[in-house]
């Protein structure tokens, strides 16, 4: 059975740009185009939820010019692409902390969520200013007991299904503080392509690899 819930660490934008002698921001622009393209493919392939790692709590340590450019780019992308995504039936959700994020960008995220709230073709979760440890810490502050399901209700998006498959591009083989609670039993596929080079055929291959795995969730088959 193909995975219905997929998460991706969209890694390698900066290195892709550097290899071509381009500014880092051009790599991020190229990566954003690929997110949009693979989102369309995900719909075709029967994926119901796609979660992408756009900006981590650790990314603030990057050069100020790159961070400022990323904030501006995200704002422009949300403004220009939300109407189209809404027409295509995409529900948008942003997960992460809002502290430090420009207020106008936070407002744009909330507006996009409201505009697309009733869509059900696919849900696109965008992890922005996100860290897995931060999410668990934030949830713990509100947790009043009751077990795992009660704790889950305090996560940024408690309605998110646990990813069946986690994909990471760029050849790195680590989780990088991404969805630590949600991906406890996700199958993981590491890819060598930089994210801007990640094509539909690569996504299809990841799904085929997943289909060959046997998920036991700690038990025995």
User: Which range marks the domain in which residue 76 is found?
Assistant: 5-212
The answer to whether position 219 is within a domain reads no
The answer to whether position 218 is within a domain reads no
Cα(12)–Cα(205) distance, rounded to whole angstroms? 19
Q: Is 41 exposed, middle or buried (0-12, 13-18, 19+ CB in 10 A)?
A: middle
> Is the pLDDT at 68 greater than 60, yes or no?
yes
The answer to whether position 220 is within a domain reads no
Q: What is the pLDDT of residue 2?
A: 80
pLDDT tens per residue across span 180-209: 999 999 999 999 999 999 999 999 999 999
Q: Are 184 and 175 in contact (CB under 8 A)?
A: no
Q: Are 207 and 164 in contact (CB under 8 A)?
A: no
Cite the active site residues: 11, 59
The answer to whether position 168 is within a domain reads yes
CA dihedral 85, 163, 204, 208 (to 10 degrees): -160
Q: Mean per-residue pLDDT for 163-176?
A: 98
The answer to whether position 63 is within a domain reads yes
Count: domains in the chain: 1
What SS3 class is residue 127? strand
Question: Which residue is associated with the tokens 């961070």?
Answer: 67
Beta strands in 30-135 (DSSP E): 49-56, 90-95, 122-130
DSSP state of 12: -
**Domain containing 126 — which CATH number?**
3.40.1180.10
The answer to whether position 20 is within a domain reads yes
Percent of the chain with pLDDT over 90: 95
pLDDT tens per residue across span 69-117: 999 999 999 999 999 999 999 999 999 999 999 999 999 999 999 999 9
The answer to whether position 221 is within a domain reads no
The answer to whether position 111 is within a domain reads yes
């Amino acid at each position: 059975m193909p995975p219905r819930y997929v998460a991706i660490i969209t890694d390698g934008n900066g290195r892709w740009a550097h290899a071509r002698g381009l500014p880092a921001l051009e790599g991020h622009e190229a990566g954003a185009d690929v997110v949009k393209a693979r989102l369309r493919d995900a719909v075709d392939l029967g994926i119901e939820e796609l979660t992408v790692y756009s900006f981590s709590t650790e990314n603030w340590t990057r050069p100020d010019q790159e961070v400022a450019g990323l904030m501006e780019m995200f704002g422009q992308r949300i403004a220009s692409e939300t109407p189209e995504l809404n027409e295509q039936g995409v529900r948008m959700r942003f997960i992460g902390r809002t502290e430090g994020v420009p207020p106008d960008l936070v407002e744009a995220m909330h507006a996009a969520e409201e505009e697309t709230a009733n869509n059900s073709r696919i849900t696109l979760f965008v992890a922005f200013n996100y860290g897995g440890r931060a999410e668990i810490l934030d949830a713990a502050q509100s947790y009043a007991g009751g077990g795992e399901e009660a704790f889950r209700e305090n996560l940024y998006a408690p309605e998110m299904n646990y990813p069946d498959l986690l994909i990471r591009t760029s050849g790195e083989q680590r989780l990088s503080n991404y969805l630590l609670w949600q991906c406890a039993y996700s199958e993981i596929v590491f890819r060598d392509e930089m994210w801007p080079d990640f094509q539909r055929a690569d996504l299809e291959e990841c799904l085929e690899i997943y289909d060959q795995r046997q998920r036991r969730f700690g038990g025995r088959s």
